[in-house]
Amino acid sequence: MEKKSAAKGHPILFSLMLGIVLTVLVSIASAAAEIQKLNDTETMLSQAVAFFIMALIITIYMKRKDATLGSFGFRRVELLKEKRVLYFIPLLIIALVQPIVGGINRDLALGDIVAILVFTMLVGYTEETVFRGIIRERLKEKSRLFYIVFSSVFFGILHMANAFGGHDVLEVLLQVANAFLLGIILALLIEMTNKIIPLMVFHFLFDAFANFTSASADNKQLLIISVLDILYLLYGAYLISVMLRKKQPVQVAA
């Protein structure tokens, strides 16, 4: 009990524990799928269960902290009234890179499609809530720069868990680098808009389109990663310039 209270009293430790718990749950699900020799779709559903459990845990935590969830970025997005929603448009381009370059997998069965949609929705909700919602709220006493760097580095490092899925070292390192750059963009956006739902929608679309991309696109991975990296760097530089120009304060209050 004392350890739990200590973690909550130390925002960095609490944030680290939150990310580690998520990673452990997914790793256990992946290991169980490997032991049971499940196919790709069954493995995805096994991991979906892990994300669902984590989603319940963090939702209960947030509701106890703030019943409105406003302090975690759950705010209404008014498309026609807020110019800040324009910041989210480039995310659509980023989400479409993989299927455009790699093509769509037309051999997916209905069950595969449903599994992908369920899995990616849970991933989008859970990961955005953890990294752009709860961790940001926990680090609100720190500087904006500290949150952006900390959450992005942590987001990238935790993607090393993919190494347990049989990926080679180079692929894992590329995933870590991409996750880090994407983490920076999403952290910048939550700081500038204080709205997490569009980030969840993007995360869902990005992962869903990645899973819908043709398996034959594996030989185009370097091209896809290169295009994404260029977009991340350009968009990130733009967001940073806007933030510095406006000297926009951190928005965390409801």
| Residues 103-142: tens digit of each pLDDT | 999 999 999 999 999 999 999 999 999 999 999 999 999 9
CA-nearest of 176, 202, 191 to 146 is 191
* 246 class by beta-carbon count within 10 Å (0-12 exposed, 13-18 middle, 19+ buried): exposed
The helix/strand/coil state of 104 is strand
Tens-place pLDDT, residues 219-229? 787 788 889 98
Distance CA 148, CA 146 (A): 6
100 — alpha (psi -120 to 50), left (phi > 0) or beta?
alpha
pLDDT at 151 over 90: yes
Q: Does residue 123 contact residue 49 with C-beta atoms inside 8 Å?
A: no
Q: Angle between the 40-65 and 110-128 helix axes, to the nearest 10 degrees?
A: 30
Q: What letter would DSSP give residue 44? A: H
CA distance 129 to 73: 9
Residue 1 pLDDT greater than 50, yes or no: no
Share the mean pLDDT of the chain: 88
Candidate from 26-40, 62-76, 161-175, 232-246 with smallest mean pLDDT? 161-175
Helix axes 11-35, 40-65, angle to 10 degrees: 160
C-alpha R_g of the chain: 18
Nearest CA-CA partner of 61 in 197, 156, 75, 53: 53
Strand, helix or coil for residue 213:
strand
> Residues with Cβ < 8 Å from 222, sequence gap 6 or more?
none
Q: Which two tokens stand for residue 235?
A: 């968009």
Q: At 167, is the pLDDT very low, low, confident or very high (cuts 50, 70, 90)?
A: low
pLDDT band at 63 (very low <50, low <70, confident <90, very high): very high
CA 151/CA 186 separation, integer angstroms = 10
pTM of the entire structure? 0.88
Provide the residue ranges of all domains of the chain, joining segments of one domain with +.
Answer: 2-246
pLDDT of residue 163 exceeding 70, the answer is: no
Quick one: tokens of 88? 């989210």
Backbone angles phi, psi at 248, to 5 degrees: -70, 125
